[in-house]
Chains A and B, each alone.
Chain A
Amino acid sequence: MTTESSMQTRLNDIVRASHGRLVAALSARSRDIAASEDALSNAYRAALETWPTQGIPHNPAGWLMRVAKNALIDASRSALGKNRSSLDTETGEPIEIPVAAQDIESEAMVDDRLKLMFAAAHPALDESIRAPMIMQTVLNLEATEIAQLFCLPTATMAQRLVRAKTKIRDAGIPFSIPSKDEWPARLNDVLEAVYGAYSATLNEVLSSDSRASESLYLADMLGALLPDEPEALGLAALICFSASRAGARFTLDGAFVPLDQQHPQHWSGELIALASSYLSKAQTFQTLGRFQLEAAIHAVHADRRRTGVTQWSAIVQLYEGLVHLAPTRGMLVSRAYAIGQISGVEAGFAALQSLSETVLNSFAPALICRAHFHETAGQFLLAHKDLERAIELLPDGKEKAHLVAQLERLAAPIRLSRI
């Protein structure tokens, strides 16, 4: 006899494993993400009602798909008020959606997920909504969670997600793999959105199992869906490297630990190995790209687990490449930090000059980097000033708490110097 709560747990497991695929398969055919999600919710409710008495079907995902598909057809019929389905306006015939177990894993379904990602990160959608769309449709995150990650009120985020789904449906944004000439730009939009979705979750409780598994799910999916795209593999490697440090990023009390101070023993060797394999696979194509370079930088850091030291000169070289390909202010700061590590603070200060004065005084990572250089040079007052400004700029969170503690440590030598 299965109890209600264990049935709920079982269904949750099935939903976790299949939701993204089911949404993808349903929306690729209906072109209506919101309606597909509603239909799936109906199917989950139906499962909770019927499975306790009739038993869990042999192929639960297939069962859910069939029920959801019928709900979708019913909904579109009643919406049109006639016995024709929007699923196929030409013939009125419901479109075949595969239900067999092997189909859920088949190539067609893999394609559907890719199609959903191309729709969710379509250039006709505002750039700021693409990562949230990937988070909701592919990772099945709640609007509440996504809103928190992007520091927005839930209602605002929920409304933007609804608007994006409505646009996809009403503007006829296709669920299809773009043509060859559009492919590079469009793939880049998808990778950027996945990266955005990943980085937004990074500073949250990534150490929790669900976050780590979601990141891996993303990496795995990229690797599986796009095995011939070096940048997709590069991003998969980047995500795995970063996820490998999830256990070391926070202390047991939840305090933030910067990369330099993390114990490599707390990194996951298994994930580092997986990341390395994605990266070497990417490098066989011999086309350089931003995500591969970033992953390579992570690889150098990961090497500290094996060698005990960080090869800063290699990191500087990789940053030179990155700055050349895609110069962002974040990269310029990281490059300056790495230069400071090998050539001393004077060289570090000089490298920071590649940023404008405005950026230097209003971009928290730049201020934190400069504070580090000042501190190394024994200029504690200047370090204190930069750090204070950085703290003002940062949103509340674990990194900010870490910097506040660092500010207090800096205050001690300043007090001493005044005696």
Chain B
Amino acid sequence: MRYTFMLYSKESDFVNVAPEAMAEQLQVFGQYIGALKAAGVFVDTDWLQPTSTATTVTLRAGSKQVQDGPFAETKEQLGGFFVVDVPDLDAAISWAKKCPAAQYGLVEIRASAMPSGQK
């Protein structure tokens, strides 16, 4: 099954992070991606710019079509994701526990709802 890990954390924790610390983080995530690939479960990942740069679009009646800012103001923000292909939720949980983002934030696991023919 395909699962998406949504990585949530406090953006304020990453303001003014020293370049060395940033380099270290990149390396840690690099190792995690390496491990996912070596296990043959890696599908995709991305890391996102902070919500201060977000633009929200909707064509829902009664809303502005385009507006500045994220969809919801929350304590913790979506900062990136991983997509993995593993047999079941237990396998997904065990990979999510290894995700570096789980050390300082939350990892929400959601299974794919897309019919298998469309993937």
B interface residue numbers (CB < 8 A to A): 1, 3, 87-93, 109-111, 113, 116
Check A170 against B87 for contact (C-beta < 8 Å).
no
Residues of B within 8 A of A170 (CB): 111, 113
| 15 examples of A-B residue contacts, CB within 8 angstroms | A170-B113, A171-B109, A172-B1, A172-B3, A172-B89, A172-B111, A173-B89, A173-B90, A174-B87, A174-B88, A174-B90, A174-B91, A176-B88, A178-B90, A182-B90
Check A124 against B89 for contact (C-beta < 8 Å).
yes
Residues of B within 8 A of A122 (CB): 89
- Which of B87, B89, B91, B116 touches A171 (beta carbons < 8 Å)? B89
Could you tell me the distance in whole angstroms from the C-beta of B70 to the nearest C-beta in chain A? 26
Could you tell me the distance in whole angstroms from the C-beta of B108 to the nearest C-beta in chain A? 11
- 7 closest A-B pairs (Cβ-Cβ)? A174-B88, A172-B1, A172-B89, A172-B88, A173-B89, A174-B90, A171-B111
Residues of A within 8 A of B87 (CB): 172, 174
Could you tell me the distance in whole angstroms from the C-beta of A116 to the nearest C-beta in chain B? 14
Query: CA of A178 to CA of B91 in the docked complex: distance in angstroms?
Result: 10
> How extensive is the interface on chain A, given as a class?
10 to 19
Binding site of A, secondary structure by majority: helix, strand, loop or mixed? Answer: loop
Tell yes or no: A89 within 8 A of B by CB: yes
Query: CA of A417 to CA of B110 in the docked complex: distance in angstroms?
Result: 68
Query: CA of A176 to CA of B109 in the docked complex: distance in angstroms?
Result: 19
Could you tell me the distance in whole angstroms from the C-beta of A70 to the nearest C-beta in chain B? 23
Residues of B within 8 A of A173 (CB): 88-90
With CB as the reference atom, state the residue of chain B lying closest to A122: B89
Check A174 against B116 for contact (C-beta < 8 Å).
no
Q: Mark A319-337, 1 if CB is under 8 A from B, else 0.
A: 0000000000000000000
- Residue among B3, B88, B90, B113 with most chain A CB within 10 A: B90
With CB as the reference atom, state the residue of chain B lying closest to A174: B88
Query: CA of A174 to CA of B111 in the docked complex: distance in angstroms?
Result: 13
The residues in A between 157 and 214 inclusive whose CB is less than 8 angstroms from any CB of B are: 170-174, 176, 178, 182
Check A172 against B92 for contact (C-beta < 8 Å).
yes
Query: CA of A176 to CA of B3 in the docked complex: distance in angstroms?
Result: 19
Residues of B within 8 A of A89 (CB): 116
With CB as the reference atom, state the residue of chain B lying closest to A118: B90
Query: CA of A171 to CA of B111 in the docked complex: distance in angstroms?
Result: 5
